[in-house]
Amino acid sequence: MAMIRIGPHKLPARAVLAPMAGITDLPFRQLCLQFGAGLTVSEMLISNSDLWHTRKSHLRLAKDDDALRSVQIAGAEPAMMADAARRCADDGAHIIDINMGCPAKKVCKRAAGSALLADPDLVARILDAVVAAVDVPVTLKIRTGPDRDHRNAVEIARIAEAAGIQALAIHGRTRADKFNGDAEYDSIARVVAAVNIPVMANGDVDSPEKAKRVLESTGAGGIMIGRAAQGNPWIFRDTLHYLEH
């Protein structure tokens, strides 16, 4: 079974842990890794690194030196995002992940997270700036679009690939959907068909059987599991065993 490669890093498993603010702290990430997650991503950091002196930010920057370290940043200003990425890489991050998927009001009101999907030109400027700023691979997390009348994930994915993004995770809902309704895997399949970089399917993957169905229906290279891992970190072990056997 083909593994996911992000730049020079070959992930040991196709199921990875989604970044979740207030949840994917270091102890939880370590637990999921122990149960077979191929990669974990830190909680989201705001791009203004001048504000990283708070206790919350220090905890989010906590690192496990034995693990592949992916740090997620969020913001809407290209130069500030580039600086944040540079500081994370200098601090030992192996991968920089950019958040363009968070639907939270406090993030979107700053024109960050999934709010950026409505401005493809700004998306391109941010991605170009961050990729140029660091020598480590840069990945991107998105949704299917701003709302159901404006699904533009394929356009954003092509922009990402052109900018040098090494892998893409896509949650199968629009920004407007938040976590309501069912994930739209057909939209993820269109993104997979449109680009040549690894794509991880995210949204409503809550069992090994569902993971297999989503991989088959979307053609994605991997699965990103979020809420279903809360209180159930062994979902990674069970999913990997089911996919293999």
**102 noted as active-site residue:** yes
Biggest distance spanned by C-alpha atoms of the chain = 49
**Neighbouring residues of 193: CB distance < 8 A, sequence distance ≥ 6:** 219
Q: 32, 88, 102, 108: which is the annotated catalytic residue?
A: 102
Residue with tokens 């992940």: 97
| Sequence-distant (≥ 6) Cβ neighbours of residue 47 within 8 angstroms | 73, 74, 75, 76, 77, 80, 81, 83, 84, 112
Enter the tokens of residue 190.
């269109």
DSSP code string of 131-191: HHH-SS-EEEEEES-SSTT---HHHHHHHHHHHT--EEEEESS-TTTTT-S---HHHHHHH
The C-alpha angle with vertex 181 and arms to 42 and 232, in degrees rounded to 5, equals 40
Show the CA angle centred on residue 214, arms to residues 157 and 202, nearest 5°: 50
Q: Is 147 helix (H, G, I), strand (E, B) or coil?
A: coil
Residue linked to tokens 């949840």:
23
Which residues are designated catalytic?
A: 102
